[in-house]
Structure 1
């Protein structure tokens, strides 16, 4: 197994740690940042999430730089992203920091795209992520991080940065999902 795939698997192993820190009742106290107070567990969860999200860039960098791109990596990398985002969104809904409908919209798109990718894989095709999909992922990661840290430092100024970026992520989710399905409808139609 090459280095990029090991990094991707490492990202997957960070997900349970992330969820335990966020969801298991532990009182590690609170921390004050830029006039806002948040549970220390949320800050640690945000750090774990950022590290896990950062490995997405890192594995891609090594795969391209050292020509270590594999079909396994093309399949595993987006799956790891989806698992991380799913864990984060469900955790935020559980913590009542995100409306459930937003999580459902995002997760529905992810399941639909994964379904098309699986059909394509069965047909011997590997579908790479589009630039719209990459922007969607960036906004999701930024929004999730901002929610985890309770909108610091924007909360002090009354700017709902976390929810603004989440709205952008939802809109990009819908647009990129539609674009993905339209561009790859031949894969689904061919398999019917």
Structure 2
């Protein structure tokens, strides 16, 4: 297993660690702010590894079928585990329906990509989809920190942690919905185009077979 795939696999193995960090069984649970800081830093590092393994795979020429399979699985598992755990960890911000919508969108897009792959085409990540990924990371970190702090005071400067968490989560809901629709529209256009080309090819094949079945004299009639 090459280095990029090892990093991707380690991200999958980090999922149960993140769940443990956000649970009451974590050793620093109940301490003011320590659990939240540790879990936030851990989630940020694991999220950064998503870009690192992709960068290494491209620049080392180590893009493999295993990596293409594991990378989206690792991403989906990390986001799904984060939002499901946050429903219990900070129910004030993450409601169950929010977790269902965000996670459902991830699996719907994965399903569309799988169907597209079997049809012989791909659906590239849109700018909205990339924006959604960044906002998801920010919203998860803010929601974790919101469990320990309502605001941060740095002298006269105030960071509204709770406001950032709430706005971030609902912004994720909006962007996830928009990007999901965007993926579906892109999929529909390509699948419709692929179906049209298939029908055209089938019609040409039928006409070719019919022409071959004609007598030699009839084939030359224009």
Bigger mean CA offset, 145-154 vs 59-68: 145-154
Q: Alpha carbon RMSD of aligned pairs, Å?
A: 2.5
Structure 2 unaligned blocks of 5 or more: 153-157, 196-222
Task: Name the structure 2 match of 1:177.
Answer: 180
In the alignment, does 2:145 pair up with 1:149?
A: yes
In the alignment, does 2:1 pair up with 1:5?
A: no
Q: For residues 122-148 of structure 1, what are the alpha-carbon distances to aligned partners after superposition, in whole Å with 9 as ceiling and x for unaligned? A: 334444422221110110011101111
User: Aligned ranges for residues 31-180 of structure 1 at < 5 Å?
Assistant: 37-38=32-33, 40-95=34-89, 96=91, 97-150=93-146, 155-156=151-152, 157=158, 159=160, 160-180=163-183
Report the CA distance between 1:152 and its aligned residue: 7.8
> Any conservation in 2 of the 1:89–1:98 contact (CA below 8 Å)?
yes
In 2, the alpha carbon distance for the partners of 1:47 and 1:11 equals: 14
Summarize the Cα distance change of 1:128–1:72 in structure 2 as closer, same or farther, 3 Å threshold.
Answer: farther
Q: Secondary structure at the match of 1:68?
A: coil
Q: Secondary structure at the match of 1:25?
A: coil
Structure 1 unaligned blocks of 5 or more: 32-36
Summarize the Cα distance change of 1:133–1:152 in structure 2 as closer, same or farther, 3 Å threshold.
Answer: farther
Q: TM-score, normalised by structure 1?
A: 0.83
Specify the structure having the higher radius of gyration (Cα): 2
Report the CA distance between 1:188 and its aligned residue: 5.9
Task: Name the structure 2 match of 1:18.
Answer: 18
In 2, the alpha carbon distance for the partners of 1:120 and 1:58 equals: 26
In 2, the alpha carbon distance for the partners of 1:27 and 1:5 equals: 31
Report the CA distance between 1:105 and its aligned residue: 1.4
In 1, the alpha carbon distance for the partners of 2:20 and 2:43 equals: 12
